[in-house]
């Protein structure tokens, strides 16, 4: 044991610092390993335009920027600022900027703008009609309180409608001093003009978990489904699934998973959802079940059933942040998994509606990695993965 033990070091510094003149302290600051070093926030999103151009959004300082690739990610355009005026932007894994195309072709970009107070934020959205510049961003909710409106999901719908849903703490704030309000709430706001303006927001459900991404998908009849981590009494962090009416309010809310993870904690690990042509809802999510934290795949109950069909764990014990997508009869799941040396990007592909899966190894990185996403273009699925060392990566699935 020759190396100085880290906490011994800290105690030493804590003792020495007040004795040291300012200059020496400055020198120390230059040489000591400082946690202050700013890490790039890797949270990003991508979508294919109809002409095959790949569009990504990510954070650069106080701007969300849009970049284009005409060659499937080999080369990228100069970044285009989405918000011309700088503002604070969240871009970690669960709370990253999003991009979607409205049915009139407009490019929509959403993000969470952290405000001054802890946990506070505003849901922002900017629209570009022609892709060359963006209109000034708007806040999609009417509530101006400096509280949590964060972790938005952005979903474009037929007829130029757009729905944004997010985690909102106005009900928690209102309940303060009046008893215990579990978790936060899900709110949504609907646009009927391609994201140029939004109708007043509506509450979808009380008692969501506080800091996991929300998944969205379209049901077979075009209704929007939302899937999120919920807090069932007293503190079971299972998932809830809502079907929305055309106006964005909840048509039904039902329990979607039954892992019974009872905990007061922040998993930072949200689900993903797709619906197949028969209306079966396929999902991936993270939970601790029987004492073991795992990523799961399963087919969610519809109607009054209270069981998940075909639930199985995905990858190994460190599998994380899975996404899934459907292309005709091909159901694909991607996730990242640290193997002790590097982070791997792995996939499972099923041709029989999730009964059997074939494993695939797609990529790996030795540095930090964003959550992977599956995106689609011309009947083909691609994994989109941003890694600190390699940048934006687009990996076609076979």
Q: How far is CA 203 from the centre of its chain?
A: 20
| Interface with other proteins in residues 24-53 (CB under 8 A) | 29, 32-39
- Is 61 near other proteins (CB under 8 A)? no
Q: Which is nearer to other proteins, 300 or 369 (CB)?
A: 369
Binding other proteins (rule: CB under 8 A), the pick from 18, 158, 177, 359 is 18
- Name the helix (H) or strand (E) containing 30: helix 22-31
Binding other proteins (rule: CB under 8 A), the pick from 152, 168, 201, 210 is 210
C-alpha span between 275 and 3 (Å, rounded) = 55
C-alpha span between 103 and 291 (Å, rounded) = 45
Residue 289 CB, shortest distance to other proteins, in Å, is 12
C-alpha span between 94 and 44 (Å, rounded) = 10
x/- mask, other proteins, residues 114-143, rule CB under 8 A, reads: ----xx------------------------
The structure tokens listed for 256 are: 């979607």
CA angle (303, 304, 309) in 5-degree steps: 80
x/- mask, other proteins, residues 211-240, rule CB under 8 A, reads: x-----------------------------
Binding other proteins (rule: CB under 8 A), the pick from 218, 318, 376, 391 is 318
- Is 174 near other proteins (CB under 8 A)? no
Residue 102 CB, shortest distance to other proteins, in Å, is 31
- Is 204 near other proteins (CB under 8 A)? no
Question: CA-CA distances (angstroms) from residue 326 to 98, 265, 375?
Answer: 20, 32, 9
C-alpha span between 253 and 264 (Å, rounded) = 23
- Among residues 297, 304, 362, which one has the least CA distance to residue 324? 297
User: Site residues (CB under 8 A) for other proteins?
Assistant: 3, 5-7, 9-11, 13-15, 17-19, 29, 32-39, 118-119, 210-211, 263-269, 286, 288, 293, 317-318, 320, 336, 338, 340, 343, 366-369, 388
């Amino acid at each position: 044991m020759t190396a100085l033990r880290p906490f011994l070091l800290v105690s030493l510094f804590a003792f020495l610092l007040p004795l040291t003149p300012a200059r020496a302290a400055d020198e120390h600051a230059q040489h000591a390993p400082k946690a202050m070093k700013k890490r790039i926030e890797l949270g990003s999103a991508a979508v294919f335009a109809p002409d095959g151009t790949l569009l990504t959004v990510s954070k650069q300082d106080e701007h969300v920027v849009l970049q284009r690739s005409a060659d499937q990610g080999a080369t990228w355009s100069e970044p285009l600022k989405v918000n011309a005026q700088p503002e604070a932007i969240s871009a970690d894994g669960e709370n990253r900027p999003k991009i979607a195309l409205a049915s009139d072709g407009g490019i929509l970009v959403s993000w969470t703008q952290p405000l001054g107070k802890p946990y506070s934020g505003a849901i922002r959205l900017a629209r570009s009609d022609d892709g060359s510049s963006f209109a000034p961003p708007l806040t999609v909710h009417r509530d101006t309180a400096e509280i949590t409106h964060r972790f938005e999901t952005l979903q474009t719908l037929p007829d130029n409608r757009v729905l944004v849903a997010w985690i909102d703490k106005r009900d928690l704030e209102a309940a303060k001093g009046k008893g215990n309000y579990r978790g936060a709430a899900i709110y949504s706001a609907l646009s009927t003009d391609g994201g140029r303006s939004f109708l007043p927001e509506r509450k979808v459900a009380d008692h969501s978990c506080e800091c996991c991404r929300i998944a969205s998908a379209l049901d077979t009849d075009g209704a929007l489904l939302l899937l999120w981590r919920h807090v069932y009494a007293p503190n079971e962090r299972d998932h809830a699934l809502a079907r929305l009416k055309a106006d964005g309010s909840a048509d039904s809310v039902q329990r979607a998973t039954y892992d019974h993870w009872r905990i007061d904690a922040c998993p930072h690990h949200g689900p993903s959802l797709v619906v197949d042509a028969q209306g079966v809802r396929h999902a991936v999510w993270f939970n601790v079940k029987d004492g073991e934290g795992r990523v799961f795949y399963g087919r969610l109950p519809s109607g009054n059933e209270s069981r998940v069909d075909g639930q199985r764990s995905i990858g190994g014990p460190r599998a994380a942040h899975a996404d899934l997508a459907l292309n005709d009869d091909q159901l694909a799941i991607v996730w990242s998994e640290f193997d002790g040396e590097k982070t791997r990007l792995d996939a499972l592909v099923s041709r029989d509606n999730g009964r059997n899966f074939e494993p695939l190894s797609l990529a790996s990185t030795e540095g930090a990695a964003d959550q992977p996403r599956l995106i689609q273009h011309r009947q083909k699925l691609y994994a989109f993965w941003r890694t600190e060392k390699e940048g934006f990566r687009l990996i076609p699935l076979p």
